[in-house]
Amino acid sequence: MGFRKDFIWGAATASYQIEGAAYEDGKGLSIWDRFSHEPGKVFDGHTGDVACDHYHRYPDDVKLMKEIGLQAYRFSLSWPRLMPEGKGAVNQKGLDFYNRLIDELLKNDIRPFVTLFHWDFPAALQSLGAWENPDSVKWFEDYTALCARTFGDRVKDFITFNEPQCFIGLGYDVGVHAPGYQLPNSSLVPMSHHILKAHGTAVRALRSLVPEVRVGYAPCGDPCMPATNSPEDMEAARKAYFTVPEKGWTFNVAWWSDPALLGCYPESGLKHLEKYLPHGWQEDLKTIHQPLDFYGQNIYNGRYYKAADNEQGFEMLPLPVGFPKTAIQWPITPDALYWGPTFLYERYKTPFIMTENGLSAHDVVSLDGKVHDPNRQDFLNRYLLAYKRAAEDGADIRGYFHWSLMDNYEWAHGYKERFGLIHVDYETQQRTLKDSAYWYRSVIESNGEVL
């Protein structure tokens, strides 16, 4: 059985994390340009000013993608590079850059998957209240229309938002990402609603402007996995996964997915949050709920749950002492790639693509000039086997994007964490394919049969 014949194998990046050229060719500032320069916000004061210098080195980077055998490349557009003020004037040099990148990809038979928004929000619009301002829906629609009109003749796969859970949760709730705010629910809930509305509006715009477009969405949320295969534990895990908690609701998967895919907010969320939703929210659900060609998810790890005799009916199990972890200290739980897609497909019944998965490891260039990263290969092998099982057990699984193509700016962790298939020496910008990149090539060539 294995993966479908037309399965898509790729790798992913995001604009602020790799492009650099933060002040070049008319680009406007994003909230990350500002935040990364605020003292104490990012590990060792690292900024994305230069990052992987992909803005200048993209032809070589596309060559490396080709060498790895990637069939698809997921990258995001920098909104302020295209519209320096976030709305109004357009920066032709920004459009030129992405046109060149897209052409280079197509020349190399690599299918571009474009994420419209991966966190580098225009600083100028932040001053206007960002997503809390109802006009944000229109701002995003105009930006989407510009991208659709400019790139839609060649790009057919678009993703609206990357992980609203994180840019709202970490950026405006916990405050460890840009812009570093800690806002109350009376701000956060309207923001979430406007983002969902912007998503629906963008899907509509893409459909009307891009012939044969395929549109997706890439939220996240750590899967809840059953501790055993008993029906009780399965139900407990399912319930834990899709119940919106009162605290930490911004990170939940159902709040951000049910409206887009099912046309309603989850009851468990409305119970606590309905009072903060903007007037007329019920009407907006029609706009929010647009047919999607694929449902993307970024999954890195999950937690085990069992049935419990408490009000909620579920309980999270602690991780055993010495549980395996990645360099960034995230637990290694391959089953997340079984249960995540399985439960998500069961609920949303929409073709599924893993839009991100991977790990950070302590990668170094060895004396032999190579980067030996057996941990990454082992991690991917385990996770991909679980993913394949999910496909064989009936989830409609269409593709996999490794996070990340190359080491890059890991947000508040700066350059401390290395998630790439390609090692980047930030002093010299020298790229080195890691052992795992060659191994991933064999996975792609065999459509997952070598796993």
Residues with a catalytic annotation lie at 163, 356
The count of chain residues that interact with ligand BGC, using the rule CB under 6 A, is: 10
Mention every residue, 6+ apart, whose C-beta is less than 8 A from residue 214: 156, 157, 158, 293, 294
356: left (phi over 0), alpha (psi -120 to 50) or beta: beta
What's the closest the beta carbon of residue 413 comes to ligand BGC, in angstroms?
Answer: 8
Q: Kindly state the tokens that stand for 44.
A: 């060792």
Per CB under 6 A, contacts with ligand BGC among 329-358 are 356
Taking alpha carbons only, the member of 178, 86, 189 closest to residue 138 is 86
Single residue of 97, 241, 403, 440 touching ligand BGC by CB under 6 A? 403
Per CB under 6 A, contacts with ligand BGC among 204-233 are none
d(CA 84, CA 76): 16
Nearer to ligand BGC, 285 or 405 (CB): 405
Q: Kindly state the tokens that stand for 286.
A: 């029609």
Nearer to ligand BGC, 295 or 403 (CB): 403
User: Partners of 161 in the beta sheet?
Assistant: 117
Nearer to ligand BGC, 387 or 403 (CB): 403
- x-or-dash string of contact with ligand BGC, 9-48, rule CB under 6 A: -----x--x-------------------------------
DSSP assignments along 10-47, one per residue: EEE--HHHH---TTSTTPPPBHHHHHTTSTTSSGGG--
What's the closest the beta carbon of residue 50 comes to ligand BGC, in angstroms?
Answer: 17
Nearer to ligand BGC, 166 or 227 (CB): 166
Per CB under 6 A, contacts with ligand BGC among 62-81 are none
Single residue of 240, 410, 432, 434 touching ligand BGC by CB under 6 A? 410
Q: Kindly state the tokens that stand for 145.
A: 């229309």
d(CA 92, CA 78): 13
What's the closest the beta carbon of residue 78 comes to ligand BGC, in angstroms?
Answer: 13
Q: Kindly state the tokens that stand for 224.
A: 């809840």
Q: Are 305 and 234 in contact (CB under 8 A)?
A: no
Nearer to ligand BGC, 226 or 302 (CB): 302
- x-or-dash string of contact with ligand BGC, 140-179, rule CB under 6 A: ----------------------xx--x-------------
- Residue 407 as a binder of ligand BGC (CB under 6 A): the answer is no
**H or E element that contains 346:** helix 336-348
Residues near ligand BGC (CB under 6 A): 14, 17, 162-163, 166, 298, 356, 403, 410, 419
